[in-house]
Amino acid sequence: MTLQGGCTCGYVRYEVSGTPSKETICHCSICRRTSGAPLVAWFTVSAQTYRILAGTPAQFESSPETERTFCPRCGSALSYRSRRFPDEVDVTTCSLDEPQLVPPRDHTYVRSRLPWVKLADGLPEFDKTRQ
């Protein structure tokens, strides 16, 4: 499977190939703050299959061992990489051109979920990361 996506303004474009995994909706406070949203959908791909097609994403270390990328022009969140898992890249699902192709399979870090967010989709919930 090959998927393409990018930022809101179109400056950064990327492509991923292979089979997405770890499709989740994260409720952690760092994801919330970096996206300005109450939760963020992510999926994981092999780092070798994540290619920037256009533009140059900006990056910052959001926590020890963690790098996030975003568009330097419009601020769209794009990816997450942990030094603990150097062969993986997590990609924001909704930065895909067709996010419906990679639906979430669970909710992670629900212990940090905002109290006014009510989950009713029936997906598995994990206090932190999945076990």
Which pTM value belongs to this model?
0.93
d(CA 89, CA 70): 13
Q: What is the pLDDT of residues 9-51, one digit of tens each?
A: 999 999 999 999 999 999 999 999 999 999 999 999 999 999 9
| pLDDT at 131 > cutoff 80 | no
Query: H helices within 13-117, ranges in order?
Result: 29-35
Domain 2-112, CATH class in plain words: mainly beta
Closest by CA position to 44, among listed 14, 105, 88, 81: 88
Start-to-end CA span in the chain (Å) = 26
- Can you give the residue ranges of every domain in the chain? 2-112
